[in-house]
Amino acid sequence: MFKQNNKNRARLLINCPDQPGIVAAVSEFLYEHSANIIESNQYSADPEGGEFFIRIEFESPNLKQKQAQLESDFQEIANRFNMDWKFMYVDEIKKMAIFVSKEPHCLLELLWEWQSGDLMADISLVISNHETSREMVESLGIPYYYIPANKDIRAEVEEKQLQLLKEYEVDVIVLARYMQILTPSFVESHKHQIINIHHSFLPAFIGANPYERAYNRGVKLIGATSHYVTNNLDEGPIIEQDISRVDHRDNAEAMKKIGQSVERSVLARAIKWHLDDRIIVHGNKTIVF
């Protein structure tokens, strides 16, 4: 299912106050640890006192054996430049849980990407408040858990979900059109690990029934937004967006069909960037390399 052996490849993500010498210090550090830089991307919000962001992908022989030492040695540079940083190791495939309700189009897109080897994740389980998608999921050998949900039993439902996430050691949660609002405690326990697809080009039409509201407003463009979930409904850091043109001949149902195609591609791209460690969250924005 996975394309290559990446046991000696890692990624380093950094954000810190901008100042001279950051790139030189990090590059020298990697050189001293026999690392070959494969890809490097950086961004400075404001060279005069702003924030600096960088993502470096590198290879180093016998990386697993020296992983702990590498991180320990890097702490001195991190302290010097007041960095938020993390090393991510490419061969540690992230474990994913997908939450879905009745509409399966986003789930189907992710399963297809996974089957084709283009979604580098371990889809550990699917959780749903409907039985609609059970057959298609279990046919691929993926566990499927049906947990009925509504606002009256939300705490009980989330307790079961959290137990499953812990049991499967899940790293990232995807809400593939899961039409339930998560509680603050659930969201806080998986900060910047829950990715949602909203069937609107946010900030337009936050909340329910955006296609109907878009049709009533007479819009000429509809879109979709993938974002990290926060406790403010549909207002978390945006990862990816896209649009498609519509006109007066498209009713709400036609807009929905057009929009579903946009939803699928937007969500898939956002998840791939997360899995590839291409996203740094800063406040309520994202830097996507």
**Residues known to be catalytic:** 234
**Rounded CA gap, 168 and 144, in Å?**
13
Radius of gyration of the chain (CA): 21
First to last CA, the chain: 25
Rounded distance, CA 173 to CA 162, Å? Answer: 11
Q: How far is CA 1 from CA 5, 96, 277, in A?
A: 12, 15, 19
> To which H or E segment does residue 175 belong?
strand 172-175
Q: Which helix (H) or strand (E) segment is 76 a member of?
A: helix 67-81
| Residue 192 DSSP class | T
